[in-house]
Structure 1
Amino acid sequence: MKQENWQALTPQYTEFDDTISNFENLSEVSFLDIQPRLKQALSTLVAVEGFTKMLVVNSPDNAFYRSSIQRALSSLTDKPVLGTESINMNELLGCYSCNKAGQITVQRTGLVERINDGFLIVSANMLLANPSSWPIFKAIFLGEPISPISTTPKYLADDVPRSSFSVKLVVVGNRDQIADLEYMDGDLYSGIANYTEIEDDMNVTKNSVEHYLGFLSSLIKAFNLPSLSFDAIHRVMVAGARYSEDQRYMPIEPLWYLSIFQEASLYTDGRIIDEQAIDQALNAKYQRESYLPERALSDILDGQVIIETQGECIGQVNGLTVIDVSGHPLSYGEPARISCVIHFGDGDISDVERKAELGGNLHAKGMMIMQAFVSSALKLDEPLPYSASVVFEQSYCEVDGDSATLAELCSFVSALSDYPINQQIAVTGAVDQFGRVQAVGGLNEKIEGFYRVCKHQGLTGKQGVIIPKTNLKHLALNKEVVTSIKSNEFHIWSVETVDETIPIIMGKPFRGDDETSVIHKIAQRIESYEKHEHPLGIVERIKNWFL
């Protein structure tokens, strides 16, 4: 176990200072150059002539990305590249009208004919919304003869024109849309289409940081935005690490950067975006989106939701959750009071959330792993003589995931051993059957959610959060929390095992020869129960009267 210093809790990019200082002179890196998989797939589509004339691109489903792909493809070929945002068969295939005699009087060429020997870019969602159009698109890029659409269906043309075209198709959509498209046509990846995807992030190292910064430079110049100061780049990279949930990975999503840069430019003199402007833009964004987390915090402060951040309690621990609300862009952290009570029984652990149909499959899996670990640690020859019930108190919506397993385990062994848990410390982490603490998601939101509650209820200087050590690389805490950690008002402990966790939160070793260890205390209670002589029940007494 280790109490982490503040430098480990927020990204440090000083090793890139020389490159950042030279930001203005870096070569621009285009959207295509920052997407090596897309570049390779488009180059292959341009070069290959044969049966495979379709490319499926996993990408955010919006016109910005389709336009970016269109420009990227146009830079690789001199053949026509067009995109369409709607399906109108008359415009796509062309149309004709004829008279009563069957003679064609008017004929208009379609989009397919105009881009013959070229490329057509369409949205996967457009195809899904018009499933009857898919066989036509498939026939087009497979080179089968097709006919234009008649605008006078009551008259039959004597000679309907039929033509074959050489058109390559690029379908752009998100993963769910592509999955639906594959379901609609099981032959999609049997040779008629290749697949690639637009990457969300990139690993930033000393070798790649210039490439990354060149991409930022190209965005700024393409959209006529003020340049970035040295400190602003550092701030953007910290925000990027938080967004990607990894200190060494930066997002390469143009829209994410543009939303920040364009708003930050409102707080500048028009010449350069500095760190303060970036902070103002990020704070303004949080202010717009923070109604729900602020209301959740007020419920805790008003006592409507009970969260204790001081004192000790047997069988009760502060777990950490991440709240996602449909239609709301902000995920936020909130502490959850997890409690466990025990009673004589057959060793079963009752997962109240699961029984109430509020717990998901992953949560149930975590509970079973916890039970298996404790039984293994106690080295029992038979089931526990106790049963337990574990519950998320005041939780009224579905709970899923295994990130509360470590917290639930702490409450369980506290109830079994009768040792109290320090309520100043919150816990998050998954656990395997060997007691190793495993990484979980949403660390920044969880830590900040507990910090806000501690701050409003009163910081004691001993409050903090226990996290998996493997999660350290995911931290990019906000400035207020980092400042509090610097001042020793708040703490972060990283752990690798359950054995490291218990001494922090309960003040006792988990196992060992020490008679005060948690395992030893639990064994004593089990032994005491087994030696306990139960008084005869009423049935046994009645039987004895007749003996």
Structure 2
Amino acid sequence: MPKLAPLLPDSLQPDFSQLIDAVADLPQSPWKILFPYASQQLTDAIALPHRLITLCMNDWATGIAFIDSTLSSLPESPLYQCLNSYGQLELFGEVTLEADALTLSPGAILQQQNGLLGISLPPLLENPQLWYQVKGYLLSGILRWHDGYGAKHIKKMQLPKGEQPRCKLILIGSRSQFAELNQLDPEFSALTQQFCEIADEAKVTSASISAIIALIEQQAALAGITKITTSAKNKLLQHLSARRDHQHYVQLNASYLSKLLSYCHYRFGQELTPNAIADFISTQQQAMRLPQHYSDESIVERQIPIALEGKAIGQVNGLSVVELEGHPLEFGEVFRVTAAEFLGDGEVVDVERKAEMAGNIHSKAMMIVESYLSQVFGKEEHVPFSANIVFEQSYSHTDGDSAAVATYVALISALAQLSVRQDVAMTGSMDQAGNVLAVGGINEKVAAIYRTAQLKQLQQPVLVLIPASNLVNLCCDDALVEAVNKQRLIIYPIEHVEQAIEIAIAEVDKVYEAVRTRIKELNGQEEGDTSWLKKLMRYWQA
């Protein structure tokens, strides 16, 4: 097996400076460059007779920016309005009767005659009756005053006939919201409509970089920022890349950009610099770090025993990601995977699953570990071992397959009775051939092992093993890059589980031979016992 080389610091985060330097002129319609098909669909919808346009996206502000940009690029921009919060009154107007005088107050649909009205999808999901009123307009093209607010209370007077406003509706929501609407009304997908979709991310290439910079500068102008230094552009793109967890993509979420740029303008004025961006990132992290602080405190106080020195049999440092709901928060944690072997029939007992504290993905991963173990050793002769696998001090529901490599290494260590280096942490899924597969949250996991080493005030470096297929997802912060540069943190990308054994225990041949030797010894004892029993039976039969 070829010798592995640790990662170099420049592979831990993307560098967009050369692409930024090559940008000459900024385009007037960056959305059209980044999402040409969606822009064309929206443009076509204006000319086509369809009354419904569905815009699929995750962020409302991003969707509005896309619509504004697309419509402003047309030779004749149609009348346009967007509603994020609305009800029957805002859409269909109001009907009142006072002293036998009927008053008709038009709603947004009638006000946008021959124009476009963008509406957010969630209010329709909360009020299905309102959706069916909207659907009635989409099918007939007629706005009935009977749908107006207060119309049901008009008993003494005949309401006028419906209007034909020729207003097209842009229904704006995420895929999950459209799926919910389709469950509410299975006929929704059969409606005549023009569909377009945009993402809140973009791939950074020489062809797209000018459009990405243009979008950032548009949002910066709205926040009051008039100048962005070249180094600040690179720093910002690195941060947006980290939020996307991909070195070739950046997150383009208008709501988040507005939040970031407004803060930087408030604190540092009209010029955006790397220090301003770093201050925003640090402030946001510190504001949400209380749960992580409690987790770190438990390690410092040794309530959660994590060993990063010495060696131990059947004990491996795994890496996980804690995901908290409410205000979304993710951070990495180091945890112990332990294996205890005993005489048995080759079964790997997953204690998490037995205790009903694990999900289906976790259970599948443990079965794959057991399957690969059987392939390595079970083809030659019966494996007389079983083992318990435990995620120590796990008190909540566990799911995911990213601990498969750590589990296999702990298992092999226990079976071979060879110790594992405790200054190593690892993450990775695996298949039945032993190949290491990509996992999620790789940046949080790498940060977790280094943070834990700092909490324990280690003087020697710590090692972390990650799937080689996750290299493109590495978007580490400057502190981690410096740690790798000074060799306080050493990262090895691995492609096969045997590479993890090589680094954490010893040469694979030596480790596997130790397991096979123990198997032969125990199988030999069983054969000897069986032979003795046969002799005893023959004696009694005689």
> TM exceeds 0.5?
yes
**Distance change (3 Å), C-alpha of 1:178 and 1:542:** same
**Distance change (3 Å), C-alpha of 1:186 and 1:155:** closer
Distance in 2, matches of 1:7 and 1:78, equals 47
Query: Do 2:59 and 2:254's aligned partners in 1 also have CA atoms closer than 8 Å?
Result: no
Corresponding residue of 2:250: 250
Residue 483 of structure 1, CA deviation: 1.1
SS of match in other structure, 1:300: helix
Match of 1:525 among 500, 518, 521: 518
SS of match in other structure, 1:205: coil
SS of match in other structure, 2:329: coil
Distance in 2, matches of 1:204 and 1:112, equals 39
Corresponding residue of 1:401: 400
Normalised to the residue count of structure 1, the TM-score between the two structures is 0.89
Q: Answer yes or no: is 1:313 the counterpart of 2:276.
A: no
The 5 Å alignment of 1:132-531 reads 132-149=129-146, 151=151, 153=153, 155-158=155-158, 160-268=160-268, 270-381=269-380, 383-509=382-508, 511=509, 516=510, 518-531=511-524
SS of match in other structure, 1:324: strand
Corresponding residue of 1:11: 14
Residue 106 of structure 1, CA deviation: 3.5
> What amino acid maps onto 1:328 in structure 2?
H
Query: Do 2:14 and 2:247's aligned partners in 1 also have CA atoms closer than 8 Å?
Result: yes
**Distance change (3 Å), C-alpha of 1:271 and 1:440:** same
Normalised to the residue count of structure 2, the TM-score between the two structures is 0.90
- After superposition, what is the alpha-carbon deviation per residue over 1:60-113, rounded to whole angstroms, capped at 9, x for unaligned? 354x3464355346424543323334444355334545699xx87443434333
Query: Do 1:431 and 1:438's aligned partners in 2 also have CA atoms closer than 8 Å?
Result: yes
SS of match in other structure, 2:161: coil
**Distance change (3 Å), C-alpha of 1:386 and 1:85:** same
- After superposition, what is the alpha-carbon deviation per residue over 1:226-255, rounded to whole angstroms, capped at 9, x for unaligned? 422122122112211211111111111122
Query: Do 1:97 and 1:152's aligned partners in 2 also have CA atoms closer than 8 Å?
Result: no
- Which moved further from structure 2: 470-479 or 91-100? 91-100
- After superposition, what is the alpha-carbon deviation per residue over 1:326-370, rounded to whole angstroms, capped at 9, x for unaligned? 113321000110001111112111111111111111111111111
| Unpaired stretches in structure 2, ≥5 consecutive residues | none
> What amino acid maps onto 2:13 in structure 1?
T
Query: Do 1:143 and 1:166's aligned partners in 2 also have CA atoms closer than 8 Å?
Result: no
- Which moved further from structure 2: 88-97 or 238-247? 88-97
- After superposition, what is the alpha-carbon deviation per residue over 1:107-161, rounded to whole angstroms, capped at 9, x for unaligned? 3434333323322221111101110112211121222545313647363435652
> What amino acid maps onto 1:121 in structure 2?
G
- Which moved further from structure 2: 438-447 or 26-35? 26-35
Corresponding residue of 2:46: 46
**Distance change (3 Å), C-alpha of 1:170 and 1:383:** farther
Residue 178 of structure 1, CA deviation: 1.4
Query: Do 1:29 and 1:218's aligned partners in 2 also have CA atoms closer than 8 Å?
Result: no
Residue 395 of structure 1, CA deviation: 0.7
Corresponding residue of 2:54: 56
Query: Do 1:70 and 1:121's aligned partners in 2 also have CA atoms closer than 8 Å?
Result: no
Distance in 2, matches of 1:68 and 1:485, equals 40
Query: Do 1:318 and 1:427's aligned partners in 2 also have CA atoms closer than 8 Å?
Result: yes
**Distance change (3 Å), C-alpha of 1:388 and 1:67:** same
SS of match in other structure, 1:532: helix
> What amino acid maps onto 1:420 in structure 2?
S
Match of 1:2 among 5, 19, 39: 5
Distance in 1, matches of 2:26 and 2:69, equals 21
- After superposition, what is the alpha-carbon deviation per residue over 1:398-442, rounded to whole angstroms, capped at 9, x for unaligned? 111111111111111111111111110101111111111111111
Distance in 1, matches of 2:344 and 2:52, equals 63
- Which moved further from structure 2: 426-435 or 219-228? 219-228
Match of 2:123 among 118, 121, 126: 126
Query: Do 2:241 and 2:247's aligned partners in 1 also have CA atoms closer than 8 Å?
Result: yes
Query: Do 1:53 and 1:167's aligned partners in 2 also have CA atoms closer than 8 Å?
Result: yes
- After superposition, what is the alpha-carbon deviation per residue over 1:262-289, rounded to whole angstroms, capped at 9, x for unaligned? 2223443x34222122111111111111
Distance in 2, matches of 1:91 and 1:232, equals 43
Residue 34 of structure 1, CA deviation: 4.0
Corresponding residue of 1:36: 36
SS of match in other structure, 2:395: coil
Residue 181 of structure 1, CA deviation: 0.4
> What amino acid maps onto 1:80 in structure 2?
L
- After superposition, what is the alpha-carbon deviation per residue over 1:30-76, rounded to whole angstroms, capped at 9, x for unaligned? 55654434312211211212xx43222222354x3464355346424
Distance in 2, matches of 1:390 and 1:39, equals 53
Query: Do 2:232 and 2:277's aligned partners in 1 also have CA atoms closer than 8 Å?
Result: yes
> What amino acid maps onto 1:418 in structure 2?
Q
**Distance change (3 Å), C-alpha of 1:542 and 1:305:** farther
Over the residues paired in the alignment, what is the CA RMSD in angstroms?
A: 2.8
Query: Do 1:2 and 1:495's aligned partners in 2 also have CA atoms closer than 8 Å?
Result: no
Distance in 2, matches of 1:105 and 1:248, equals 61
Q: How many residues align?
A: 531
Residue 447 of structure 1, CA deviation: 0.7
Distance in 1, matches of 2:318 and 2:159, equals 75
SS of match in other structure, 1:225: coil
**Distance change (3 Å), C-alpha of 1:488 and 1:375:** same
Residue 397 of structure 1, CA deviation: 0.9
- Which moved further from structure 2: 492-501 or 10-19? 10-19
Percent of residue pairs bearing the same amino acid type = 26
Query: Do 1:461 and 1:490's aligned partners in 2 also have CA atoms closer than 8 Å?
Result: no
| Unpaired stretches in structure 1, ≥5 consecutive residues | none
